[in-house]
Structure 1
Amino acid sequence: MHFTEYDTRLAAYGLIVRDEQILLAWYNGKGQGRAGWTLPGGGVEFDESMESAVAREVFEETGYRVSVGGPIATDHFAVTMDEVRGRPFKSQRVLFDATITGGDLGTTEVDGTTDFARWIPLDETGAMGYRSRIVDIALGIVAGR
């Protein structure tokens, strides 16, 4: 399928680990998809870099300011027909290392798709319920470090 025949969403996420805990955000399902845990991050705006998108999204979803490192993983998925868009859809996701430089835990976006953020102990991630595949990718990276 030619790229003009489907919609693409470019998204960027931050992997933030501190004291054997991972920072995750609760996606409420208001956008599209199932509610559950995800990494802080989201769609890259038309006029911003992926690194700027990570910094903006992490602040909106967690209240923390971050320094964004390099990309550490990519992921994508596609659906042949997206009911909302009325055409095929592809999501391309890039995961970046990120380090907290300031701020306080607390979601700053209003009426968005993130209800709250939490530090989840790495040894408790198996019992946390539904989570986005991007969380599993991040946990695999953390386990390999």
Structure 2
Amino acid sequence: MHYTAYDTRLASYAVVVDGEGGDVRVLLALWNEGTRRQWTLPGGGVELHENVEQGVVREVREETGYEAELCGLLGVDSYVLDPHRRHVDTDRPFKAVRTIFKAHVVGGELAPEVDGSTDEARWFSLDEIAVLDRVSVVDIGLRMAGLIA
């Protein structure tokens, strides 16, 4: 299928970590736009004027209240949704392209996003994350960061 026949969304996410070894915590945000509320990595759509690094730093600030510093690109992930699985009424397939970075907090304080796609942010241990209702990008990012197998 030619790229003009489907919609594409460029997004950028951060695996924001705190601590080391067995005391690692990961920052997640509670996504409220799906069919059910699920935990996700802070991040989202990259605006037209932004590069992926600017987009993820902005998204972390908006969704968590924290200023983040990027530690490097972990990888790029993509997936395709058929039109009937999309959240909008359309007959066009959708391709999501997601850049995933490792990051740490350098300022700000934990605060929920107001009137956005998330409404809570919280630190979780890896054991706590294992039992959360979460979107796939969480496990993808944690694998890329070497935090889970």
TM-score, structure 1 as length reference: 0.89
Aligned partners of 2:12 and 2:99 also within 8 Å: yes
C-alpha separation in 2, matches of 1:73 and 1:85:
31
C-alpha separation in 1, matches of 2:130 and 2:72:
27
The residue number in structure 2 matching 1:36 is 38
Cα distance change, pair 7–120 in 1 and its aligned pair in 2 (3 A) = same
The residue number in structure 2 matching 1:45 is 47
Q: Which amino acid aligns with 1:134?
A: V
Query: Is residue 5 from structure 1 mapped to residue 9 from structure 2 by the alignment?
Result: no
- CA offset at residue 139 of structure 1? 2.2
Cα distance change, pair 133–115 in 1 and its aligned pair in 2 (3 A) = same
The residue number in structure 1 matching 2:15 is 15
- Map Cα deviations across residues 87-131 of structure 1 (whole Å, 9 max, x no partner): 111111110111211000012x32111111000011222122x21
Deviates more, 1:71-80 or 1:96-105: 71-80
The residue number in structure 1 matching 2:110 is 105
C-alpha separation in 2, matches of 1:83 and 1:123:
31
The residue number in structure 2 matching 1:88 is 93
- CA offset at residue 33 of structure 1? 4.9
Deviates more, 1:36-45 or 1:69-78: 69-78
Please, which runs of 5 or more residues in structure 2 have no aligned partner?
none
- Which residues in structure 2 correspond to 1:60-75 (within 5 Å)? 60-75=62-77
The residue number in structure 1 matching 2:137 is 134
Please, which runs of 5 or more residues in structure 1 have no aligned partner?
none
Deviates more, 1:33-42 or 1:89-98: 33-42
Q: Percent identity over the alignment?
A: 47
Cα distance change, pair 48–41 in 1 and its aligned pair in 2 (3 A) = same
The residue number in structure 2 matching 1:118 is 122
Runs of 4+ in structure 1 over 3 Å off = none
TM-score, structure 2 as length reference: 0.87
Q: Which amino acid aligns with 1:88?
A: P
- CA offset at residue 77 of structure 1? 1.1
Instruction: State the SS of the aligned residue for 2:134.
Output: coil
C-alpha separation in 2, matches of 1:97 and 1:46:
22
Q: Which amino acid aligns with 1:95?
A: I
- Map Cα deviations across residues 54-87 of structure 1 (whole Å, 9 max, x no partner): 1100000000001123210221111221461511
RMSD: 1.7
